[in-house]
């Protein structure tokens, strides 16, 4: 029998999954050395097989512990200032879009994410990128993919507003490409998972350290796929998922469209019951622990707000500007600009007041 001090999958299940603190980032799945942790279709990790009691899953989980100050010191060489309290450390804030109209046409907002990661691949900042597309046999259900070219990245462009345990894709990339430098795109919770990996003394640090560029998305909420897309959209509203070309959340509205045709448009607040329960414990709107954060909020239509945070983030961003793959202007030159990003960041933190820097399941989240 395991000693009471041993923190393993069973402990993680009891402390994080059962009380609905899990946001299905996939970090535990990525950490498992014997691949017995798997994603389920109801956005929870599960075990199928024999646990080897290593505890890597428990010690990699960002909902067990997230030492924000330590992570900021490691990534940025300093912790956030009082002015950066709501958004995290920022070196530069811009409004950005891809210069390639084809990328813009297949992207969610401006194609900045796809263009920046494609540039990082082409210049050798990273060798493989883990991004999130859809399952081949189940449209709109997210799944991580490993890409090494712009064409492959384009297949994963656009937002899937549900969680696909994207961090788990890092394990697949690391196994398939043992010496590759990895890039990663993910939601704030997934970036938290990745950073927990790199700072946890008992976690799978080597996997986290393989990631050389992490692009984080802004995210207020993620949703439960089965309830929102299968039960509500497909069954109740009779909209076949195959018809949907774009899912969007803007200015408080949730919309589904196919070309110019709007298939559904309703207030996002009406979808409260479909929000993934783990999101209700999240304090991070703008991926505060990424190298570069990207989201629509703050910028005009067709552009995205980009917060450059780390030295590597700045190097890749400037290189992409110099190469002409993206164009940018200071975020201070556009309306509503950083003020709206700060407002939404504060709102998300207020959900969980008071803001906790060193978060642990027992102290701040349960």
Query: Residue 365: left if φ>0, alpha if ψ -120 to 50, beta else—which one?
Result: alpha
DSSP 3-state percent helix, strand, coil across the chain (nearest 5): 35, 25, 40
Which of the residues 241 through 260 are near ligand FAD (CB under 6 A)? Answer: 249
Asked if 229 contacts 212 with a C-beta cutoff of 8 angstroms, the reply is: no
Helices (H), the chain: 9-12, 27-31, 56-60, 68-76, 101-106, 112-122, 150-154, 168-176, 188-199, 205-209, 225, 311-322, 338-350
By C-beta, is 58 or 220 nearer to ligand FAD? 220
The yes or no reply on residue 27 touching ligand FAD (CB under 6 A) is no
Q: Count of residues for the chain?
A: 366
Applying CB under 6 A, which part among 43-51, 69-77, 236-244, 289-297 lies near ligand FAD?
289-297
By C-beta, is 159 or 198 nearer to ligand FAD? 159
The yes or no reply on residue 132 touching ligand FAD (CB under 6 A) is yes
Applying CB under 6 A, which part among 184-192, 234-242, 255-263, 351-359 lies near ligand FAD?
184-192
Using CA atoms, how far apart are residues 236 and 229, in angstroms rounded to an integer?
10
- In Å, how far are 123, 148, 330 from 152, measured between CA atoms? 16, 7, 30
What would you report as the CA-atom Rg of the chain, rounded to the nearest whole angstrom? Answer: 19
Shortest CB 126 distance to ligand FAD, Å: 13
By C-beta, is 17 or 286 nearer to ligand FAD? 286
By C-beta, is 13 or 161 nearer to ligand FAD? 161
Which of the residues 139 through 168 are near ligand FAD (CB under 6 A)? Answer: 142, 156-161, 163-164, 166
The yes or no reply on residue 199 touching ligand FAD (CB under 6 A) is no
Q: Which residues bind ligand FAD (CB under 6 A)?
A: 107-114, 131-132, 142, 156-161, 163-164, 166, 185-187, 217-220, 222, 249, 294-297, 304
């Amino acid at each position: 029998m395991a000693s009471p001090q041993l923190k393993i999958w069973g402990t993680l299940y009891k402390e994080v999954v059962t009380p609905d603190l899990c946001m299905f980032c996939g970090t535990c799945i990525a950490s498992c050395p014997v691949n017995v942790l798997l994603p389920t279709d109801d956005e929870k990790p599960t075990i199928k097989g024999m646990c080897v009691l290593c505890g890597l899953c428990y010690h990699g989980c960002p909902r067990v512990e997230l030492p924000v100050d330590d992570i900021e010191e490691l990534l940025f060489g300093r912790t956030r200032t009082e002015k950066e309290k709501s958004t995290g450390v920022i070196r530069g804030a811009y409004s950005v879009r891809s210069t390639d109209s084809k990328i813009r046409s297949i992207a969610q907002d401006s194609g900045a994410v796809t263009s920046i990661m494609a540039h990082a691949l082409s210049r050798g900042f990273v060798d493989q990128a883990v991004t999130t597309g859809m399952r081949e046999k189940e449209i709109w259900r997210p799944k991580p993919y490993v890409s090494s070219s712009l064409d492959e990245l384009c297949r994963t462009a656009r937002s899937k507003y549900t969680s696909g345990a994207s961090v788990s894709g890092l394990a697949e990339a690391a196994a398939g490409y043992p010496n590759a430098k990895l890039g990663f795109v993910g939601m704030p919770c997934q970036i938290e998972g990745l950073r927990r990996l790199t700072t946890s003394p008992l976690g799978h640090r080597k996997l986290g350290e393989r990631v050389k560029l992490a692009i984080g998305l802004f995210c207020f909420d993620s949703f439960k796929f089965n309830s929102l897309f299968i039960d509500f959209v497909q069954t109740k509203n009779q909209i076949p998922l195959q018809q949907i070309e774009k899912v969007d959340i803007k200015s408080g509205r949730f919309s589904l469209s196919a070309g110019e045709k709007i298939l559904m448009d309703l207030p996002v607040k009406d979808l409260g019951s479909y929000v993934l329960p783990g999101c209700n414990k999240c304090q991070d709107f703008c991926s505060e622990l990424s190298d570069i954060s990207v989201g629509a909020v703050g910028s005009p239509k067709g552009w995205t707000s980009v917060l450059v945070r780390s030295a590597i983030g700045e190097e890749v961003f400037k290189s992409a500007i110099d190469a002409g793959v993206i164009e940018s202007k200071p975020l201070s030159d556009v309306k509503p600009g950083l003020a709206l990003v700060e407002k939404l960041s504060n709102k998300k933190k207020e959900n969980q007041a008071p803001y906790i820097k060193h978060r642990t399941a027992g102290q701040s989240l349960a």
